Every structure is written in C-alpha cells, then in structure tokens.
Chain A
Amino acid sequence: MKAWLRGSAVSLLSAFILAGCSGSEPEPESAGTPPRASLVSTAQYFNTLRYVFGSSIDLQVEFPPFERKEGLLANGAAIAGVSSSQLEQFQAAGTTVAAQVVGPTHREFLLPCKPANPKSADEACATEFLSQTGRLLVRRPLTDTELNTLVDNAGMGADKLEDFYEGLEIALEALLLSPEVLFVVEHAEADPDNPGQLRLDAYSLASRLSYFLWDAAPDAELLDAAESGELQTESGLAREVDRMLASPRLVAGMRAFFGDMFHFSDFQTLAKDPTIYPNFTGVTAAAAQEQTLRTVINHLLTENKDYRDLFTTRDTFMTRELAIQFDMPAGPGWVPYTLPADSPRAGLLTQVSFLSLHSHPGRSSPTLRGMALRELLLCQVVPAAPASVDFSVINNPDSHYPTQRDRVNAHLETPSCAGCHRIMDPIGLTLESFDGEGRYRTTENGVPIDTTGSLDGVEYSDAIGLAHALRDNPGLPGCLVQRVFAYGTGGPVQQQDRAYLEHMTEAFKAEGYQLRDLLRSIVLSDAFAKINEPQASPPAGQNDEGHTATLSPIIEETLAASGG
C-alpha cells in the first residue's frame, strides 16, 4: 500500500517536471559551493533522534541559535563554533537520550539484540546496535576503528559497572557527542562527468539533501542509495529526490525553512506590554506562528499552489487562541478557515505573526514592518540607521501627532533619515490598520487611519492593495529562489551565483511558482552538488588570511605527525 502510494506520487511529480523542463534553457555554469562543516541545529538534532529512536524519546533541549547571515540562521551553521558551555549541553542531551534508549522502558524495542548475560559485556550485541545506530547518526557506515572504539567502550563500561546496558548507554553517549554527529562535514570528490571539477561525495550529498528537505539526517534508504552509488547517477538521484519530496517529512523540512526565512526564532523573546495588549500572551505568539506555517504548508505542499498567492490568499487556519485577535469566536484545535470576501485581511502580511513580530512591545511600527517586507520577502538590504538620530522632535509634547503617519513623516524632514525611510514607511503605514498585536483598527487616538501607500511605484489604498502589490512584485519569486538555494547549500549566495539564480527564477516562473518543482529543480541542478574549492589543508597554524592561528598543542602534534 505504502509503496504503491509512493510510486504514484513519484509518477505524478515526474510528469510535472517533464512538462516544466521541456524547452527550458540549459543551466548556466555555476561556481558551486565550498564543502561545509555545519553544526547541527536543535531541530535537526531532535528530528534525527526521533527518526532513529522513535517519537517516544523525550528531549527538552534548546541549543543556542546560530548567527543570522543574509537573512537565514541556517547560513550561520557553517561558521558557528561550539563554546564549552554548548558542548556541555550536547553532552547533557546525549546523556538524556542514551538513558532513555537503553533504559528498561525502550530497550526491548530499540535494541536489536539481547546480551547473553545482562551483567557483563557482550561484544556481538554491542556491535550490532552500535554499527546500525552509528551509521544513522554519523550518516555513513562507521569505520572499523570507530566501531571498535565504541564497542570497546561499551565493554569497558559493562565490566566496570557490571551491567551490559549501562556500558552500552555510555558508549551511545560518546557516539552522540562525537564531532561527526554534531558537525555535518561535507567531503568532495572528483566529478567524473566534468573532468577537473569537484562534486560532493555520495554521503555528503545525501546529508545535504536530507537536511535541506527534511531538516534531519538521511534515512536508511537514502544512505543505501549513497552506499550503492545509485545517488551519484542521474536516475538514482531523481528517484531519491522524488521519494523525499513525496514524503510527509517534507512538511517538517519546509516548516523549518519558512520559520527561518520569516525570522520566527525572534518569537522566542517576543513579549507585548500586558498593560497595552493584555490579550497577547505567549500562547498567542505560538498560535500566530502556527497559523502562518499551516497556511504556508497547506498552500504550497498540500494544494501545490502559486507561491505568490500566499500573500493574497484568504484561506488560512483558525484556533481559539488566535481568534480573539480576529475578533471572532472559534472552537478548540485548528480548523481550516476562509476569511470573508470583505475582510480587511488577506495573505501573510496581515497575519498576526507578521504584524506582531515586526512591532514594538507597546505599539505598532511602520518602519519595522516596512523593513521586514523589504528584507525578508524581497531580499533587499535596508542600511542601518546613522548614529546621532535625534528623533525627539516627533514626540514634542506641543506637537500632538495623533497618528503614526504624522509621527513617522518627521523622518522625512531629516535628510539622513529620509532616504531609507522612504522605502520602508509607505509600506508600513498601510499596515497601520493593524495595531502592535495584529488586531484590526480604523482609528488611532480617535483619528481615522490613512492607509494609502505605494510599493515600488504601485499605489494602493489599503492592506489588501499592498498584498496584491507584493504578490505581483517582480522581486518576490527571486527572493524565495535565493533563500531556498542558500538554505539548501548551507551558506549565503555569492555574486557568481547570479546567473544561476536568475535561471532558476525563470524555471520557477515556468513551473507556475510551485514550491515542490523549485525544490526539485534546485537539488537536481549541477550547482547543488558542485564543490568549488579543494579540501587541501594549508600548513598547520595558518588560516586563510595568513594569520597564525592558535591550535591546541595536542592538535599541533597530531598534524605534525600526519604531515597535515
């Protein structure tokens, strides 16, 4: 049954792609990406463990976030270091997981074997468990040395603690702490189809695909395809990609991507002033994110609809926790909900997540909302404000600005401010019909709110007009392509990717702006797996800038001994 379903989904997708690709231009030559060593995120760690050990493993852990680079936290993974305190957290998480996996509740169904004697070491059983688990956690088969070390550790622990399971538990802890579990290290190999060029090796390609599409390590099937060499063939890769795109795990992957693109990590510290917005609590914030992610997933993956229509759609989901912001009743749980045709809301810009996240704790912010639209959805960069901004004129007690529009217009009287605020404020002022917690309003301080504005020359009278102007803005699809490619390859796009990104944006358009087709086009493109720098190590102690770096003495010795 399952196989039949997958097969039918695959055929359907292939038909789409064949239709989309016919007559398209060949992919322009791209520079490729460097091989990366990306630190796993909390979600990736968690998703992987759930796949390997099942969903009953309880893990309350939150590793520190990466630095956001070029709009994405994911772009920070390949440059993030691990501080001692973070390593401590990894160790603690590993301890929690190992105790559950090997503990009496789970061992019956998570361990493939039983020891001959539970009070002593059992090499065969430890080998069986650690080799299977190790392959999934390290994302490649363990080397003999690695496996022997783990099995020896399990044996030594069992001897010392007089308990097979306790020994195995500590060996599993060590495995979970190993650098190749915590860092996804990519390796390059010569590309036989393009002499003189490099590509990701099969296991690295499997990881890149899996973290991109599923936000988790590769499953056993994908590793099998890497091991057999199938993944490095055109048909084998297409087969695996289609399987992954048809899998329900794509939902977790895309929720992670859009959560990153929409800066939802900022919700972790979002708080509204309870004296001004008493209804907006942590529960509201969580529901606001969930509404947007459900809308996105339903629109793009369930319905396979045009990405641009996300910004005008009236179809969403509703729950009791959020209904109060919409001034409507609702029952418990999430239910599909279509906004009435005369609703002042349509699309993601008018959802509580966007409106509340880009506001102050105690009031709305036309500037923050305008900046978010430009930076998050159009991939434009708004320069930072200059120092010495004296904005107190707008709060002159004698001036009585009744609305934000009157207040914000004061920006435009200052030449150093006007340049940037002209590209943000007209967008944000239209959204002033929603307050700092995302509730609809028509007046501010008793004065009717003027919601007219313009986006890149397109004028409109209200938020619905803004939604349509954004939907039709030529920068919108290209921004998604740019973000998807960066996210998928693990680092910010480069200048030399421009032709490739333009080509992909054209393909996206030709395919009706459908997300699955975009994902497929990108992962099957040469650029996705092409590696642009050899992994030759420079002399020890020299970094790329030629500065002498400080390495641990023991590392120096190792490198000296290995000639590295």
Chain B
Amino acid sequence: MKKLTRRKALKGMLSGGAVTVALPLLDCFLNDSGTALAAGAPMPVRFGTWGYGLGGTSSIMVPKKIGADYDLPEEIASWARVRDHINFYSNTTAHMDASPNNNHFTGWVVGRCGIAPSGGIPSETIDTTIANRIGKTTRYMSLTATATGDVTNTYSYVNKVTPNPAEWSPLKFYTRLFGPDFQDPNAPSFTPDPRVMVRKSVLSGVMDQTQTLLKTVGSEDRQRIDQYFTGLRQLENQFAQRLTKPEPIASCIAPGQAPVDPPMNKEVATVQLRHRMMTELMVMAVACDQTRVFNMAFSAAFSALVKPGFPQPYHTCTHEDPIDPDLGYQPNSSWFTRRTMESWADFVEAFTKVKEGDGTLLDNVLIYATTDVGNARTHAVDDMPVFTAGRAGGKLKSGLHIDLKGASPTVVGYTALRLMGVDVPSWGTLSNQTSEVFNEVLV
C-alpha cells in the first residue's frame, strides 16, 4: 500500500464528499510514539468516580495480602480480570468529630467532600473540584450517570444545593452524547452550522440579563444565579466547539446505534445490564474527549436493588439476613455485594477495551470509588473500603492492596486531587483533613 501522509489524507478528506461514517484514526494522525495527537497535546488524564451502597463484609472482601498480587476473597473474586488495575485501600474511617452519624450519608460524603456532614451536603464534591480544574475545555464539564434508573441517585454535587442529576436512561444518554449535536472528531468533512452561530450570539443577551438579575437578589440566591451563569458559559463553550473543526481522535468510535432502554426496575440483573450500557456510553464519551470528568452511581446508599423472588431489597437484607453459622456471614446480603463488585469490575474493564496511545484508556484515567458504610450489616463508618482504578497517565501505581489503618478516605481523595493538578495545600476538615499525598502509590 502506498504510504499515506497526514497532509494527503486531510486534503483528500476535505476535498472529498461528506461521508458520514466515522473513520478509524490512521496512525499518521499520531506523533511518532503514538501517544499524543499530532497537534502535540499529550493524552489528557481524566478523572472519574464510581459509587455504590452498603460496603461489604470485610472478612470475605478485604484481601489478606498487602501490596501487589493481592488475593481475591469471595466478595471480590470477580476482580480477577482487572485486579492489576485496581488499588484496594482497606480500613478507612470517616471521622465524625462532633457531627452525627447520618446513616448512609456520612461515609460517602466524607469520601467525596472531605467533611463530616452535620446537615446536608457540606460542599462541592471532589469531582466538581477537579472538573473546575480540567473540565472547562470539553463539551461537558462532567458527566454523571446511574445504573438504577433513578435520576436522584447521584454522588456528585456542584455545591451544597445542586446535585449533578444522574443520566438514567441509556437512550437519553446516547442521544445527549452521540445524537444530532455530536461532532465526530474523525468525520471526513466539517461544516459549521449557521444556526449554532446565531444561537451562540444570542446567548450574550441572556448573560446580560443574568447580570442585571444578580444585582437584585440576596446573597444565597446570587450564588444560585451565578451558577446558572456558569451553565450559560458552558453552553456557550459547547456552541463554540460545534463551530470548530475538532482534532481527530484515534480511539473515538461513536456507537452507531441508539440503545433500547432496559425495563424500569431495580432487579440486580437489570441494573447490571443498565450499568454496562451506561458505562459503554460513558467510556466512549471520555475516549471522544466529550468530557474529562465522569461519575457513575451503581447503586444508591440506601440500595434498593432486588433479587427476583426474594422479598427483601438489598438494604433491608443487610439488617434482616441472619448470619449463617457455618459461613459466618449474611449469605443473601453478600450475594448483593458480589453482584455489585462484578459491576465494578465491568466498569474498570470497559476502560481497558479502548486503545489509547501505547496502552488503553484506563492508563490515562484515575477512577475513585467510594461507598457509604464499611460493614454492610452494622452500617459502621469505619473499616470502609475505597478503590482506585487506572494509572493516571503513568503517575499512579495500580494492583496494590493498602491497609490505611483507620485513616480517613481523604488520604486517597487528596492524592487524587493532587494527581489531577488541583494544587491545594490540604483537603477536608477537622479529623478528616489531610495535607499528605500518599506517596506509596505514586510512581
């Protein structure tokens, strides 16, 4: 085959007819090492979170071996395919200080805000902090989804009163990401839409109105209107991007077909299926650089997942399932934990299926996973597991089990913040405050 130069390829594409199929990215678009786009920008490191409810049972969840090549106890046996991509940080404690233990809330809020809540959400969550740092140049500052079909199942907050509502329908999510407004970076032709130009122009009038309104409202409302203004800026950014020919991206292959939504119920099998569908879309959104921050909630803190024919939903089960005297744990409750861990493995694995540069997409992400309690049965907020996945662009070791010996999960969160370029001297408050990066996991 004749050698194809980048110039020839582009010239051919631009002068040729508009073909609407996405082309695979040719090697000539990459630099010699294949790790960066030809424009010279390195593959960015992206940040994600994964959340689930009800912890697990330490005796059959936490590896016995510390460090690399850790063992996989029953509840995480499904990790075999992805173990070396995951760090398991066991034995973290959400320090409550003077705050009450708000069941199903305190644990994950400490993990995501660094603050023990005394009422509602005390601050923006970690993903928002990172999105403010790395998310402003992409089409979406962040994407938030859930597998439960419930828009309110989110662990991501823009501020104290504004959750990032979760995408819950694969079809709606697909349409938002890859519907008519998606700009395929590898499309052979590019024609800016004049209607988008006009839309972008009229937004300035809406922004002016917003500024006028800001002068007339009280301080609390001003925060909310200001945040609305930030949304307008993001919208303006989206319009601007649609008017600019995007750089080709090797790993971006938009799904060709709209998915069909699974039934609206919380049966574990349905939730796992919905999770896989949402994950696939999320992964491709990241690969196509539509966002650099993403959040997935597999289940709510008060998880209501159900096992067909079994009368107790997951949360009820953690309270009512008797401990089997032979096994030494709650078998039905553990059944739910195992299914949850399978889905976590699915999530991690999905990022390995996209090739990016010398490795996979997972090498260039950092995923931070939290739950609301340690022990499922007692709902205690000590002995809580935290996971990370990915190598953060080669800066983070993976495949390790670390016993944090009762430290706050903020140790992991703060390390993630610093790895993502958020240059803050510390994170968290009171006993959850930390200013130490956890060097043991850094390359």
Contact = CB atoms under 8 A, between A and B. Distances in A.
B18 interface: no
Contacts of B149: 269
Contact of A179 (B151, B209, B378): B209
Contact of B377 (A386, A392, A393): A392
B103 A387 contact: yes
Interface in A34-85: 34-37, 62, 64-65, 67, 79-85
Determine the interface band of chain B, counting residues with CB < 8 A from chain A.
35 or more
Given A81-B159, A174-B205, A360-B311, A87 B215 contact: no
A156 B194 CA distance: 12
Given A67-B161, A87-B235, A183-B225, A392 B316 contact: no
Interface stretch (A22-30, A242-250, A426-434, A534-542): A534-542
A123 to B, nearest CB: 16
A276 B313 contact: no
Contact of B211 (A161, A391, A555): A555
Given A80-B161, A83-B163, A153 B320 contact: no
A537 B215 contact: yes
A84 B194 contact: no
Interface stretch (A101-109, A192-200, A556-564): A556-564
Given A82-B227, A149-B205, A156-B201, A390 B264 contact: no
A387 B215 CA distance: 46
B226 interface: yes
Contact of B213 (A81, A83, A180, A274): A180
Contacts of B306: 271, 273, 361-362
Interface in B58-105: 101-103
A392 B377 CA distance: 9
Contacts of A389: 319, 379
A177 interface: yes
A529 interface: no
A283 to B, nearest CB: 12
Nearest to B176: A88
Contacts of B320: 391-392, 394-395
A37 B380 contact: no
A179 B308 contact: no
B230 interface: yes
Q: Residue among A156, A179, A554, A558 with the most chain B CB within 10 A?
A: A179
A290 to B, nearest CB: 18
Contacts of A558: 211, 214-215
A496 interface: no
A178 interface: yes
A175 to B, nearest CB: 9
B330 interface: yes
Contacts of A551: 222-223, 226
Contacts of B311: 273, 276, 360, 362-363
A385 interface: yes
Nearest to A66: B161
A37 B214 contact: no
A124 interface: no
A82 B228 contact: yes
Contact of B235 (A91, A384, A386, A533): A91
- Majority secondary structure of chain B interface residues (helix, strand, loop or mixed): mixed
A289 to B, nearest CB: 15
Nearest to B263: A271
Contacts of A308: none
Interface stretch (A7-15, A110-118, A165-173, A229-237): A165-173
A167 B320 CA distance: 62
Q: Residue among A64, A65, A167, A544 with the most chain B CB within 10 A?
A: A64
Contact of B228 (A81, A273, A533, A537): A81
Contacts of A387: 101, 103, 378-381
A85 B322 contact: no
Q: Residue among A177, A360, A551 with the most chain B CB within 10 A?
A: A177
A182 interface: yes
A84 B201 contact: no
Contacts of B206: 174, 177-179
A552 B225 contact: no
A274 B308 contact: yes
B218 A535 contact: yes
B217 interface: yes
A150 interface: yes
7 contacts: A79-B161, A87-B232, A160-B197, A161-B195, A269-B150, A269-B266, A392-B321
Nearest first, the 10 A-B pairs at minimum CB distance are A81-B162, A87-B231, A64-B165, A271-B265, A362-B311, A391-B319, A363-B311, A275-B309, A37-B221, A149-B205
Interface of B: 101-103, 120, 140-141, 143-144, 148-152, 158-159, 161-165, 167, 176, 194-195, 197-199, 201-203, 205-206, 208-211, 213-235, 238, 264-267, 304, 306, 308-313, 316, 319-323, 330, 377-381
Given A173-B199, A182-B228, A396-B322, 19 more contacts: A84-B230, A86-B231, A91-B235, A146-B209, A150-B205, A153-B198, A153-B201, A156-B201, A156-B202, A178-B206, A179-B213, A185-B221, A271-B306, A273-B308, A361-B306, A535-B216, A543-B220, A549-B223, A551-B222
